[in-house]
Amino acid sequence: MNLDIESASLILSAFLFAVGTAGVLVRRNAIIVFMCVELMLNAVNLSLIVFSRSLGLEAQVLVFFVMAVAAAEAAVGLAIIIAIFRHFEGVDVDRFNILRW
Amino acid sequence: MMESFFFLLFAAMAAGGAIMMIASRNPVSSLMYLVLAFFALSGIFVLLDAHFLAAVQVIVYAGAIMVLFLFVIMLLNLGHREELDMRGHLARMVALVLGSALFAAVAALVVRGDEASLASEGSRMAVDAMVRSRGAVGALAEPLFTSYLVPFELTSLLLLVAIVGAIVLARRRAP
């Protein structure tokens, strides 16, 4: 196998990030858009862990912080979704234009 | 050999779960595919010798955050939605092209940079020795509580702000 596990993990990470991006672009349900963002964060975590093997364990500390920020972001984001659901009676992102100038 | 078999298994699970998450109609099954992808990713973390982060991945991501998502889906009663909330053909094409371009760009970087390896064998040996002497948790805790102590404490502040913000945002306004 000429492609070792680390390069294959980097390619998998790129694939997961691309799938997450496509999901953000294609879905209209705000919760699924959020789930795609979480997937993109996890793809970045995977590549950070690959780099931590050769560049030092500080990369894993960074993964730790990414997880903490992702937890905070999920809590606040889901609270915003609940508030928006109450206001618009739905979570379709095409109907949210309250931030438009 | 064994390692690459498990890697291929977990990679297929992660990629398939990610694609099915985007493609499935029901938000709950979408979420379950994402949980599958996260579990597979934690298996890959184990294969990459990040044992502590694999455990945290299962506990925090596949456990706590996904339960939070499931809770919100159930709370908003979105679980039995049957129509697909995909955008039209044009947006799908754009997403496909952009996604493939992104993937191709990063994958080309990885494949081309393969022979010029990222770091010397020496630093890899140093990381291995660190993990072996301190264990998976100790090797991560040592930089976390020395050089990254202030960011670590700031993280606790961030989580506190997130808790307060979530309560304030989701609270029902008094009429």
Domain boundaries, chain B: 1-85
pLDDT at A1: 41
pLDDT of residue B125: 77
Is A53 a domain residue? yes
Residue at A84 is within a domain: yes
pLDDT along chain B (175 residues), means of 10: 90 95 90 95 92 92 90 84 75 89 87 62 75 83 90 94 91 70
Helix (H, G, I), strand (E, B) or coil at B23: helix
pLDDT at B118: 56
* Minimum mean pLDDT range among A13-17, A64-68, A81-85, B152-156: A81-85
pLDDT 10s digits, A19-71? 999 999 998 888 999 999 999 999 999 999 998 888 888 889 999 999 999 99
Average pLDDT over residues A5-13: 89
Say what the pLDDT of residue A90 is. Answer: 80
Nearest CA in chain A to B32: A35
3-state secondary structure of B86: strand
| Cβ contact, residue pair A31, B72, below 8 Å | yes
CA B93 to chain CA centroid, Å, is: 26
Task: Name the residue among B14, B123, B144 with its Cβ closest to that of A61.
Answer: B144
Number of domains in chain A: 1
Given pLDDT bands bounded at 50, 70 and 90, which one contains residue A92? confident
Contacts of B58 (CB under 8 A, 6+ apart): B38, B39, B42
**Smallest Cα–Cα separation from B114: which of A45, A9, A40, A18?**
A9
* Number of CB atoms found within 10 A of residue A92's CB: 13
Model's pTM, two decimal places? 0.90
Judged by CB atoms closer than 8 Å, whether chains meet at B48 and A86 is answered as no
Residues from chain A contacting residue B15 (CB–CB below 8 Å): 12, 15-16, 19
Query: Which architecture characterizes domain B1-85 according to CATH?
Result: Up-down Bundle (1.20)
Tokens of B118: 């990222």
User: B47 to chain A: which residues are within 8 Å by CB?
Assistant: 5
Show the domain range for A37. Answer: 5-95
CATH number at residue A13: 1.10.287.3510
Q: Judge contact between A3 and A50, C-beta under 8 A.
A: no
From the list A15, A22, A45, the residue facing B98 with the nearest CB is A22
Predicted confidence at residue A95, as pLDDT, reads 79
CB pairs under 8 A between A and B: 237
Query: Which residues in chain A have their CB less than 8 angstroms from residue B144's CB?
Result: 61, 64
Is A100 among the domain residues? no
Q: Which residues pair with B86 in a beta bridge?
A: A27
First to last CA, chain B: 65
Q: Which of B18, B72, B148 sits opposite A78 (nearest CB)?
A: B72
Q: Which pLDDT score, from 0 to 100, does residue A54 have?
A: 81
Interface test with A, best of B98, B103, B130, B148 (most A CBs within 10 A): B103
